[in-house]
């Protein structure tokens, strides 16, 4: 499960970076994209937020499980 979330986070970050770079490239070339194009990176950004928070909390969950186990 953790490996799937980590892979999803990596690929989503790549998609997000390409979308943002594409928007900046279009702006740099002088063309003004449609207004909705600026909202495209929000979907991967939301997924990055969820998976990033999970990956951040994961070590703390593992630590709390180790402490809670009786030896």
Residue 41, phi then psi, degrees to nearest 5 = -70, -10
d(CA 38, CA 33): 8
Dump pLDDT digits (tens) for 27-52: 999 988 899 999 999 999 999 999 99
Mean pLDDT computed over every residue of the chain: 91
Full-model pTM = 0.81
Checking if the pLDDT of 60 tops 80, the result is yes
Checking if the pLDDT of 6 tops 80, the result is yes
Q: Residue 2: which of 61, 42, 69 has the closest Cα?
A: 61
- Model pLDDT, residue 51: 96
């Amino acid at each position: 499960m953790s490996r799937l979330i980590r892979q999803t986070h990596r690929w989503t970050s790549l998609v997000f970076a390409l979308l943002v770079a594409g928007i900046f490239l279009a702006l740099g070339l002088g063309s003004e994209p449609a207004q909705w194009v600026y909202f495209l990176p929000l979907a991967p950004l939301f997924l990055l937020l969820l998976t990033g928070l999970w990956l951040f909390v994961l070590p703390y969950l593992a630590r709390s499980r180790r402490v809670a186990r009786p030896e």
